[in-house]
Amino acid sequence: MRPENVHLTLAFLGSTPAAALPALIAAAGRIAPRTFTLRVDESGYWRHNQIAWAGVREIPPELAALVGDLRAALLEANVPFDVKPFVAHVTLVRKARPGFKLPPLEPIEWLVRDFALVRSVTGADGSTYEVAQRWG
């Protein structure tokens, strides 16, 4: 994962039609941003999708509230998203081979002040992420 693509997904929207963007932006705009520190302190590998990740052992209450509020606003605005339970993680390696192991992770204190609507753009060099709107 390129450093500029590192992110924490609050709600995965998938392929959202352009016509849904105004409702999506309005829904997210009703959410109060929170400032908190996210302690990234564990890593792992998911065999089912071949992803190596860094994550958190404890989700701060501010993050849980942000995710809950955002998802509720998306539901209210009829904006579809993946309703799987939220797992606070950052993808580090895609298409990692089975048995991939990361070295021990020193905890990282990540100051969170805002959240964003991010669009994935696929090009010849893989995906890049573009911030379409930021709140906070």
Mind telling me the catalytic residues? 7, 89
| SS3 assignment for the chain | CCHHHCCCCCCCCCCCCHHHHHHHHHHHHCCCCCCEEEEECEEEEECCCCEEEEECCCCCHHHHHHHHHHHHHHHHCCCCCCCCCCCCEEEEECCCCCCCCCCCCCCEEEEECCEEEEEEEEECCEEEEEEEEEEC
Q: How is residue 37 written in tokens?
A: 């520190």
How many Å apart are CA 11 and CA 68, to the nearest integer?
10
Give the other-Cβ count within 10 Å of 73's Cβ: 19
